[in-house]
Amino acid sequence: MHHYFVYDVFTETRFGGNQLAIFPKAESIPEGELQGIAAEFNFSEVTFVYPPETPGHTARVRIFTPTMEIPFAGHPTIGTAKALADLGHGPDMVLELGIGALPCTAGPQGARFTTSAPLERLATPDPALVARALGLSPDQIDQSNHAPTLASVGLPFTLTALKTRADLVACQPDLAAFRDGAKAHPQGLDFAQFAYVREGDTCHARMFAPLDNIPEDPATGSACAALAAFLCDLEGAPLSLTVHQGEDMGRPSLIRLTTDGTSVTVAGQALRIMEGSVL
């Protein structure tokens, strides 16, 4: 049997935030079963934890969505760090991910990690296509600060500012448009869409990745990290943001971000809510 924990991540309240299954001792799980286990949970991600490859590091972590292995994601990193702290590691630790080693800190107060992965601006998708993917009209997109931009600090997302909170609520993803976007921008993998409304240091956001079997994600730390890096680069100044996500799907999440232009720190709480075993 393979033991796992389930954590709610980026929330201080049970049954909020983003669900994550963590297998803290994954060495005994056959390689061919990893993707199947992730698909069986059907959470946005599942993590499998192995001994580190580099002495002095805490663990090697592999991250799977329902359809693929990915090199980096935010809520799996936060949730796994918190789970390892609950198991006696830390508070300071280094996790080995597909994008390299990430320093993390975790304890009763929650967890945080810092990534120095460079910002990549991969494309500027047609705003009409992005609007269609979000189920909106092009005039609901706010291009006063930037056009929709496919960007990454380890995992790609199209970052799109909307004009009002009501526009964000109105999003209704169009699967055909996502397929068109993925075909036009294969570097964006599944053409995942991160739409947001910003008011000073506060953002409200939603993320959709239906081609990855994620109709909507309650909390997306990797997209938030990309947004912070992108806005910092755009504005040429250090940045602190608080992102509210998941509210429109009944799983409120809170993600805190800081960046100085060379690295991004992502922080939030995570709660263990259940555990079990896969036979």
How confident is the model over 99-141, as pLDDT tens digits? 999 999 999 999 999 999 999 999 999 999 999 999 999 999 9
* Pairing state between β 253-259 and 100-107: unpaired
Same domain? 228 vs 145: yes
Sign of CA dihedral 93, 254, 18, 160: negative
Question: Is the domain of 46 the same as that of 129?
Answer: no
Helices (H), 210-256: 221-235
Q: What is the pLDDT of residue 278?
A: 96
Do 124 and 185 fall into the same domain?
A: yes
Whether residue 23 is found in the same domain as residue 144? no
Q: How many domains is the chain built from?
A: 2
Instruction: Give the pLDDT of residue 236.
Output: 96
Q: What is the DSSP string of 26-64?
A: GGGS-GGGHHHHHHHH-SSEEEEEE--SSTT--EEEEEE
Give the pLDDT score at 255. 98
Average pLDDT rounded to a whole number, residues 52-65: 97
Q: Counting Cβ atoms within 10 Å, is residue 173 exposed (0-12), middle (13-18) or buried (19+)?
A: middle
pLDDT at 83: 98
**Do 229 and 179 have their domain in common?**
yes
Q: Are residues 53 and 157 in the same domain?
A: no
Query: Six-digit token pair at 92?
Result: 């300071």
Q: Is 12 a known active-site residue?
A: no
CATH number at residue 7: 3.10.310.10
Band the pLDDT of 24: cuts 50, 70, 90. Answer: very high
Report residue 84's pLDDT band, with 50, 70 and 90 as the boundaries.
Answer: very high
Instruction: Count Cβ atoms below 10 Å from residue 54 Cβ, excluding itself.
Output: 10
pLDDT for 130-183, tens place per residue? 999 999 999 999 999 999 999 999 999 999 999 999 999 999 999 999 999 999
Q: Which candidate in 12, 33, 45, 69 is catalytic?
A: 45
CA end-to-end span of the chain: 5
Residue 74 — very low, low, confident or very high, per pLDDT cuts 50/70/90?
very high
Mean residue pLDDT across the chain: 97
Asked if residue 246 and residue 124 are part of one domain, the reply reads: yes
pTM: 0.94
Residues 217 and 249 grouped into a single domain: yes
Count how many residues are written for the chain: 279
What does 163-193 look like in DSSP terms, one character per residue?
S-HHHHHT----HHHHHHHHHH-GGGTTT-E
Residues 127 and 253 in one domain: yes
Helices and strands per DSSP (H, E), number in the chain: 6, 18
In whole angstroms, what is the distance from residue 257 CA to residue 223 CA? 11
Asked whether residue 143 falls in the same domain as residue 216, the answer is yes
Q: Which domain holds residue 178?
A: 120-262
